[in-house]
Amino acid sequence: MPVSRSFKDISITFAKHPVTDDLLVTKNFTAIKQSIQNLITTAPGERFFNPNIGSRITDLLFEPLDFINADAVKSEIEYTINAFEPRVRLKNIIAEENYDANGYDIEIEYQVVGLPEQYQTIELFLERTRA
């Protein structure tokens, strides 16, 4: 079984460390979690020369809020993570429509490859936004 190495990334907030004034750093589980969130919220075509990276969730959020599209959102997240995040092995995804907040409650459960059975969970709320 492969053994996971450590991961170190820059925080997507680009906030500075209060003491060192350096960029905030994310490590290991947090870095992977951030990477998954980045992938899900990236629209295909957004990345230079890589039109396939990302998920079509942005488009799906403008579709009617119902269980059919909730399933489509779930499939899209599943495809995106399996295709572009080799560090994790998906266990389960729950996508539930939230009619009160007009969005989807998402829960992603996964295991980091190379680590013992220790599942991580990401909880997201996805809603459409207008620029």
Partner 1 sequence: MPYNQLTNLDYFDIKVALRDYLRANSDFTDYDFEGSTLGQLLDVLAYNTYYTSFNANMVVNETFLDSATLRDNVVAIAKQLGYTPRSSVASSAAVSCSLTLQGTTLPSTVFLRRGNAFLTNVDEKLYQYVILDDVQANVLPDNTVSFNNLKIYEGTFVTNTYTVGGGVFNVILNNANIDVITIRVRVFDSPSASIY
| Binding site residues, partner 1, CB under 8 A | 5-12, 25-26, 31, 34-36, 38-39, 42, 47-50, 53, 84-87
Other CB atoms within 10 A of residue 66 CB: 11
Q: Which is nearer to partner 1, 48 or 99 (CB)?
A: 48
Vertex 51: Cα angle to 9 and 7 (nearest 5): 15
Q: How far is the CB of 78 from partner 1 (least distance, A)?
A: 15
Q: Which is nearer to partner 1, 94 or 113 (CB)?
A: 113
Strands of the chain (E only): list them: 8-10, 25-27, 88-98, 103-112, 119-127
Q: How far is the CB of 112 from partner 1 (least distance, A)?
A: 12
Query: What is the residue type of 39?
Result: L
Q: How far is the CB of 76 from partner 1 (least distance, A)?
A: 15
